[in-house]
Amino acid sequence: MSSPRALHFRGARIIDPLSQRDETGELLVVNDTIQSIAFGGRVDAPKHAEVIECAGAILCPGLIDPHVHLREPGGEAKETILTGTQSAAAGGFTTVCCMPNTSPCLDTAMSVRFVEGRAAAAASARVFVVGAATVSRKGEQLAPMASMAHAGAVAFSDDGDGIASAGMMRRVLEVCRSLDRAFMQHCQDASLSEGGLVNEGSVATRLGLAPWPRDAEEVMLERDLRLNGRLDARYHAQHLSSGGSARILREARARLGADRAHRISGEASPHHLLLTCDACEGYNTGAKMNPPLRTQWDINELKLAIADGTIDVLATDHAPHTIAEKSRDFASAPFGIIGLECALALYTKALVEDGVIDWPRLVCLLTLQPARLCGLDRRVAGIGTLTVGGVADLTLIDPQQKWTIRADAFKSKSRNCPFDGLSVRGKAILTIRAGEVLFREDPVAQPQRAAVATGS
């Protein structure tokens, strides 16, 4: 009988968002579980354990992205569950939550089981399903949310569209409350954004592209928060783009008070923190986004909201599209960019290098917070934390490593990344799911550093 697999991390900067510790130490994984953690000390590792010398790299819970588009079923030319989760693992994510706007839409228990089955058969990172709240995401009829939740849907969203009718929104929030599932809103009032392509302002005016005002996001967010004030569902606003939305969310959280504020949350994505609508110049479809890129003022407001905790979930809104689709003219090209493989570096650039938050907080927003939002602990004990006896989903991050984003080296099937060619700092060098290595940085590809030196 062979001895159990063991991984012995030495000399790591261990960050655990749950216990809020950030100390150098050692961590031992046996099989799929964290066996022991020694902050400032040594663990008792068996002789056969594989030793991983971390040389001060950050060891934290596996990153969790609560908002990705895996495109399967129906959009396999853009991405599949396999390529999307390989992309996730290469970016340090051990878990992703996929949105239901596939074809057909994930609006039945059967379709939830289909994705879970595909993920179990062929996936790198873990996949959890965010089910559609209404049939075909049309906002007209409630989807069978109870049976979907039973089949594994961890949250609900009509992402791609906001729920237009206030009456329907109220019903969805009631059901989400009763099922103890979060509702994730894509805040877009279509009567205000109608036909919009670019943030309302000088770029839209000069290029002759239909404007998309901030109001489209803010009006729906205000309405939802007002409705939810009575219903107390777990409400989450996806991909906030407007500085006004950040202020609205801050006020709403203040009204709820410290003990209830966590019932509502907002999400930021890297592109809304690094790019402005100026990136659309020259009809650059690579910068065509829903919601659109806005201005430096919005970036500043969003960063303030991340700094003070108003926005406490980070995501990528990884949205793969083929080269052919993105090569169309601006109006007919699809919205969205991919983000899984560069999100960590981009967040480092936007938030840590800029002094908005520190590494422990960044880790928290990328692990514990999305795990709480989706109640993932119900499915996998200890996920999003470093807990002795909990699952060994781990990411090792070299916060100093300089690298250049090369979209053609991505594991994702798609290449629609406007950050291609950008020099960044900070990289996941080892991604572990349940004790198994999903991704290990190839030391040949990055010869300037050999942090993942293994011994024994």
Partner 1 sequence: MARSASQTTQALRDIGPDLRLPFAARLRLPLLNRFAAASGIRIPPLRLWATVSRVTRPSIIQRSFGPDFLALEGVCATELTSILDDAERLLPCAVGDAPAARVLEGKLIANLFFEDSTRTRVSFEIAARRLGAEVVNLSASGSSASKGESLVDTSRNIEAMGVDCLVVRCAISGGAALVAANVRCAVVNAGDGRHEHPTQGLLDLLTLRRHLGNLRGKRVAIVGDIANSRVARSTTHGLVALGAQVVAVGPPALVPSSWGALVSGENISISHDMDSIIGEIDAIIMLRIQTERAADRGVAPDYRFAYGLTEARRRRLRPDALILHPGPMNRGVEIDDAVADDAFSSVIFEQVSAGVAVRMAILSRVCGRR
Distances (CA, A) of 110 to 74, 75, 123, 318: 15, 18, 19, 24
In this structure, what token pair is assigned to residue 89? 């693992």
The DSSP element (H or E) to which 129 belongs, if any, is strand 126-131
Give the range of 6-14, 46-54, 327-335, 370-378 binding partner 1 by CB under 8 A. Answer: 327-335
8 Å CB contact between 277 and 198:
yes
The residue from 4, 73, 211, 334 that contacts partner 1 (CB under 8 A) is 211
Footprint on residues 265-324 left by partner 1 (CB under 8 A)? 275-276, 278-279, 281-287, 296, 323-324
Cα angle vertex 403, ends 402, 407, to 5°?
160
Contacts of residue 361, defined as CB under 8 A and 6 or more positions apart, other chains included, come to: none
Q: Find the catalytic residue in 16, 159, 224, 317.
A: 317
> Which H or E run includes 227?
helix 215-231
When CB distances to Zn ion are compared, the closest residue is 186
For residue 81, the minimal CB distance to partner 1 (Å) is 23
Residue in 26, 161, 317, 393 binding Zn ion, rule: CB under 5 A: 317
Q: CA of 104: how far to CAs of 20, 108, 281, 409, in Å? A: 42, 10, 35, 30
> Minimum CB separation from Zn ion for residue 188, in Å?
8
Return the number of the residue (222 or 267) whose C-beta is nearest Zn ion: 267
Contacts of 450 (CB under 8 A, 6+ apart): 443
Does 353 contact partner 1 by CB under 8 A? no
Q: Is 272 in the site for Zn ion (CB under 5 A)?
A: no
Among Zn ion, partner 1, none, residue 281 binds (CB under 5-8 Å by kind): partner 1
Q: By C-beta, is 65 or 393 nearer to Zn ion?
A: 65
317 binds, among Zn ion, partner 1, none (CB under 5 to 8 A by kind): Zn ion
Q: Is residue 191 part of the contact set for partner 1 (CB under 8 A)? A: no
| Nearest-approach distance from CB 193 to Zn ion, in angstroms | 12
Beta strands in 306-349 (DSSP E): 313-314
> Is residue 207 within 8 Å of residue 170, measured between CB atoms?
no
Cβ pair 32, 383 in contact under 8 A: no
Using the minimum distance from each CB to partner 1, give the nearer residue, 40 or 421.
421
- Which of 35-43, 175-183, 313-321, 329-337 is the region at the interface with partner 1 (rule: CB under 8 A)? 329-337
Cα dihedral 114, 118, 120, 125 in deg (nearest 10): -120
User: Does 427 interact with Zn ion (rule: CB under 5 A)?
Assistant: no
Between 215-231 and 243-256, two packed helices, what is the crossing angle to 10 degrees?
A: 10
Q: Site for Zn ion (CB under 5 A): which residue of 78, 170, 181, 186?
A: 186
Is position 159 an interface residue for Zn ion (rule: CB under 5 A)? Answer: yes
Whichever of 157 and 387 has its CB closer to Zn ion, that residue is: 157
CB of 101 to Zn ion, least distance (A): 7
| 383-422 footprint of partner 1 as x/- string (CB under 8 A) | -----------------------xxx------xxxxxxx-
Q: Does 204 bind partner 1 (CB under 8 A)?
A: yes
- The residue among 117 and 421 lying less far from partner 1, judged by its C-beta, is 421
Q: What are the beta bridge partners of residue 403?
A: 424
Distances (CA, A) of 196 to 200, 253, 276: 8, 30, 16
By the rule CB under 8 A, 205 interacts with partner 1: yes
Contacted entry of partner 1, Zn ion, none for residue 359, CB cut-off 5 to 8 Å set by kind: none
* By the rule CB under 8 A, 338 interacts with partner 1: no
Q: Residues binding Zn ion: what is the number (CB under 5 A)? A: 3
User: Quick check: 332 binds partner 1 (CB under 8 A)?
Assistant: yes
**402 neighbors 45 (Cβ within 8 angstroms):** no
406 binds, among Zn ion, partner 1, none (CB under 5 to 8 A by kind): partner 1
Q: Which is nearer to partner 1, 263 or 271 (CB)?
A: 271
Annotated active-site residue 259? The verdict is no
Tell me: does residue 328 bind partner 1 (CB under 8 A). yes
Among 451, 383, 435, which residue's Cα sits nearest to residue 7? 435
DSSP-assigned letters across all residues of 41-108:
S-----TTPEEEE-TT-EEEEPEEEEEE---TTT-TTT--HHHHHHHHHHTTEEEEEE-S-SSS-S-S
Residue 403 contacts residue 393 (beta carbons within 8 Å): no
Interface region with Zn ion, contact rule CB under 5 A, candidates 73-81, 157-165, 211-219, 426-434:
157-165
In the beta sheet, which residues pair with residue 453? 53
- Total number of residues that touch partner 1 (CB under 8 A): 43
Q: Would you tell me how many other CB atoms lie within 10 Å of the CB of residue 325?
A: 17
Residues labelled catalytic: 317
Site residues (CB under 8 A) for partner 1?
200-202, 204-211, 275-276, 278-279, 281-287, 296, 323-324, 326-333, 406-408, 415-421
Q: Which residues form the interface with Zn ion (CB under 5 A)? A: 159, 186, 317
